Amino acid sequence: MTPLVYVLEEQIRDLLSQTGDVRLVDGVAYGFDDWTVFHAYTEKPYSTPSGRICPCVAMRSDAAGFVDEEKLMLQVRSRVDPDGDPIVVLLAGTDAGGSPSCRALVLTEKGVAGADARFVPRRSELFSRNTGLLETSALADKKVVIVGLGSGGSPIALELARAGIGHFTLIDFDRLELGNISRHVCGVNDLGRYKTLAVRDQVLQKNPYAKVSTMEINVNQSLGQVEDAVAACDLLIVASDNDQSRFNLNQMSLNNNKVTLYGRAITRAAGGDVLRVRPWKGPCYNCVFSSGLIDGREEEMSQKRQALAVLPAYVEEDKINTMIQVGLSSDIAPIANMMVKMALVELSRGIETGMSTVDEDLASDFYVWANRREEAYANWPRMGFKWTHPSILRWYGARIDRDLDCLVCGGHLEEEPTT
């Protein structure tokens, strides 16, 4: 088959914008499926693809120095030592209408083969399927901080990237362990990596135009750094796995008047809940989780680190592993998906989008989800055919008022404070 070569349109535009006698530019390509598909770059990509690396060179087709294809290939061979691997050659130009174009050739030991060059389009085209629901030109400027990049935070990051969010700050100090893989968006190739860096690469695969910064720090030990990030964001999303970090982040969100979403799974992912905090307009995290309202909803323990924190130092390994609770990725997905919906509502506020009706429906600040009739939901009736009683696999909004005696937010007036 004719090889396929994918190229970022923005990089070809940059190459064409250069002035003077532009010679060969050294890039890099990644080959897939027995060298039948290539992703070519004029400069090394920020997020490394998973294919086999091979040389790539690029030039403007109108540049001086090459009068024909044969001379070009001789020049390429003298410049690159491919060790038997193919060499991808990109020739950038413009079409009759003045738009950028690109011709691709693949040089192998057998000779030169023409390739089908295809652009990875600009941002506006990459997210064209969102038009009418979300205007990506507006979301591209939105800044989101996500704390906790595990089984909940990682899919949230990817969904927001798919929606066209342009700026991410990812905060987590954990590395990917083998036990994480079955519920995480990253795979075995990312074992041992910081979750922030592995998820960053996944985000850039969905939105190569996103700006992603990472912080491999413990929130509770780096309060100043985290608060600086919170102060600069449009939305804070908390998917961390301990209450201390959530209480600290709650204080930061109030200090900086930032809308915050908190989501978690409870024991063995039997269910979970999502809290939206709109500072001074509704309950804060402390109002809800220090009121006794959620007694018996034990937080899920999914990390070895969590088990070690509550067990004596001499406990055997099998006891530690027993404390780490099982739970399916599909049990986490509804909670993450709800947080994505609520995040997009908040980020598109004031913009004419198809999310406005969702905003009208999400009148509650606190939502409960049940996956199975066990733990906190053990006494719920079977789903059956009734919709008038609580059951599994449905969201329930709870009316929770702000606690004016709350030790964190109760000392402020109900209206939004002026700064």
Q: Based on the domain organization, do 193 and 334 belong to the same domain?
A: yes
* Position with higher pLDDT, 299 vs 269: 269
pLDDT at 323: 44
Q: Based on the domain organization, do 32 and 94 belong to the same domain?
A: yes
What is the chain's mean pLDDT, rounded?
Answer: 84
∠ CA 75-31-149, nearest 5°, is 130
CATH, residue 70: 3.40.140
Residue 254 lies inside a defined structural domain of this protein: yes
pTM here is 0.80
CATH, residue 209: 3.40.50.720
Residue 72 lies inside a defined structural domain of this protein: yes
Q: Based on the domain organization, do 261 and 202 belong to the same domain?
A: yes
DSSP labels, 180-238: GGGGSSS-GGGTTSBHHHHHHHHHHHH-TT-EEEEE-S-GGG-HHHHHHHHHT-SEEEE
Give the DSSP H or E segment for 57.
strand 52-60
Q: Pick from 74, 93, 120: which residue ends a domain? A: 120
Q: Based on the domain organization, do 331 and 211 belong to the same domain?
A: yes
Give me the phi and psi of 343, to 5 degrees please.
Answer: -65, -45
* Total domains, the chain: 2
Q: Based on the domain organization, do 217 and 303 belong to the same domain?
A: yes
Q: What is the mean pLDDT of residues 12-40?
A: 87
Neighbours of 210 (CB within 10 A): 21
Q: Based on the domain organization, do 51 and 187 belong to the same domain?
A: no
| Confidence bin at 209 (pLDDT 50/70/90) | confident
Residue 315 lies inside a defined structural domain of this protein: yes
Q: Based on the domain organization, do 95 and 65 belong to the same domain?
A: yes
**Of the candidate ranges 23-37, 207-221, 288-302, 326-340, the one whose mean pLDDT is the lowest:** 288-302
Q: Does the pLDDT at position 284 exceed 80?
A: yes
Q: Based on the domain organization, do 175 and 301 belong to the same domain?
A: yes
Joined together, the tokens standing for residue 311 give: 């067990």
Residue 105 lies inside a defined structural domain of this protein: yes
Residue 99 lies inside a defined structural domain of this protein: yes
**Of the candidate ranges 105-114, 199-208, 231-240, the one whose mean pLDDT is the lowest:** 105-114
Joined together, the tokens standing for residue 180 give: 């994480």
Looking at beta carbons, which pairs linking 344-349 to residues 24 or more positions away fall under 8 Å?
Answer: 344/134, 344/160, 344/163, 346/234, 346/235, 346/259, 346/261, 346/276, 347/139, 347/142, 347/144, 347/165, 347/234, 347/235, 348/134, 348/135, 348/138, 348/139
78 HSE (CA, 13 A, CB side): 7
Residue 413 lies inside a defined structural domain of this protein: no
Q: Based on the domain organization, do 99 and 217 belong to the same domain?
A: no
Q: Based on the domain organization, do 38 and 142 belong to the same domain?
A: no
Residue 375 lies inside a defined structural domain of this protein: yes
Q: Pick from 120, 152, 175: which residue ends a domain? A: 120
Query: Which residue bears the tokens 């190569």?
Result: 208
Task: Give the residue numbers spanning the domain of 62.
Answer: 4-120
| Confidence bin at 176 (pLDDT 50/70/90) | very high
Q: Based on the domain organization, do 197 and 243 belong to the same domain?
A: yes
Q: Pick from 120, 155, 178: which residue ends a domain? A: 120
Q: Based on the domain organization, do 50 and 187 belong to the same domain?
A: no
Nearest to 29 by CA among 96, 95, 108, 99: 108
Residue 188 lies inside a defined structural domain of this protein: yes
